[in-house]
Structure 1
Amino acid sequence: MGQERLSAFIDAVIAIIMTILVLELDKPKTLDWQGLWELRENFFAYALSFFWLGAMWVNLHAFSHRTEKITQKTVWATVIMLFFASLFPYATSLIAMDFYNPTVQVFYGIIVLLITTATLSFYRTVSEVNPTDELQRLREQRNRWIKWDILLKLSGLICSATIFPIGTSLAVFITLCGFVIPNQFRN
């Protein structure tokens, strides 16, 4: 399989996942500002998930664009990554239903961490067969902040499980706005 075909597959699946996110949004009980305001947690969960997936896609695109070779390991790492990503609309809909529920926040956090881990596996398999300076530079840049990203997500998950139910969503928001997106603008 060529790199272009794998990239097209990733693009298609992520586009479908992002579309499902919006289809899962609840409709307001009343068609006025109050009805929309009552759905603020739904909109926040949607926006957080949409932009998190968008940032993931941007990172994957930047990495794939510089890739010449892929292996079966890369293809399978991609399938696993997209499997976990396909659970994102479901986890997001659970948060939208009961934003302050610690169980659904922890579930959301687990999905986020599984996607993060699978994405790192994807990057590793690509780097193994494409040892270019440019990919190495991107990997080194990500390695500078990814430990903090994962630590913050884990902390949010633990907070959600124990004392602060929305810790996971807050941690994902902070990592997205504090690490992921700013680092994409530096590349």
Structure 2
Amino acid sequence: MQKGRLEAFSDGVLAIVITIMVLEIKVPHGDELSDLKPIIPVFLSYILSFIYLGIYWNNHHHLMHTVKEVSGGILWANLHLLFWLSLVPFVTGWMGENNFAPMTLALYGCILLLAAIAYFILQNRIIHVHGKDSLLAKAIGTDLKGYLSPVFYILGIISSFFIPWLAGAFYILVAFMWLIPDKRIERILREVEKKED
């Protein structure tokens, strides 16, 4: 199977997820700026989740540039990732509607953690199909960010019950770590193009 269909499906799902998420922001009754105050937590949670979905979309795009063939395992691993990402609107809305209450922060962190694990599984399936010397295997290397992210998510989940603002700080920290597109894959692809020229 060619990767184009997998990419198109993934892009479509992420576009729908973002659309659903923005529809969760209810328009306030009233025409004053002060009427927007009650939806500030919902809007802040939307911003964070939009950034996360953008990060996944961007990194998934880079990931797919290393794929030559798609196996059944890669398809299922990709669906697994999309499953967890499709739950982001629910946890985003719940967290925003309840002013970042501890349980909502914890569940938000759990979904982020499970999405990160699913992304790791997808990477490993691609490497399994393409080999230890594949472009992706070379690009990932030690993957420090990939190993640190779950640790910060777990710390965020735990701290959400004791120091809620710290949980938010951990989630924002991980987003900042990944905000810049993964240059490792771009660098490897450029090196391959230079060798081919």
TM-score by length of 1: 0.90
Deviation at 1:25, TM superposition (A): 0.9
| 1:84 partner amino acid | W
Deviation at 1:167, TM superposition (A): 3.5
Cα displacement string for residues 12-68 of structure 1 (whole angstroms, at most 9, x for unaligned residues)? 101100111100112224322212233221111001001101101100100102210
Q: Which one has a bigger Cα radius of gyration?
A: 2
User: Number of paired residues?
Assistant: 184
Cα displacement string for residues 97-121 of structure 1 (whole angstroms, at most 9, x for unaligned residues)? 1123111111111111111101110
- Residue matched to 1:77: 77
- Residue matched to 1:159: 159
The 2-side partners of 1:76 and 1:99 are apart by 35
- Residue matched to 2:141: 140
The 1-side partners of 2:9 and 2:58 are apart by 15
Deviation at 1:169, TM superposition (A): 2.9
- Distance change in 2, residues 1:80/1:151 (3 Å): same
The 2-side partners of 1:6 and 1:183 are apart by 20
* Structure 2: segments with no counterpart, 5+ residues: 187-197
The 2-side partners of 1:25 and 1:91 are apart by 13
In the alignment, structure 1 residue 32 sits paired with structure 2 residue 44: no
- Residue matched to 1:64: 64
Check conservation: 1:99, 1:166, Cα contact below 8 A: no
In the alignment, structure 1 residue 184 sits paired with structure 2 residue 182: yes
Check conservation: 1:105, 1:166, Cα contact below 8 A: no
Check conservation: 1:108, 1:168, Cα contact below 8 A: no
- Residue matched to 2:170: 171
The 2-side partners of 1:184 and 1:29 are apart by 42
- Residue matched to 1:5: 5
| 1:149 partner amino acid | S
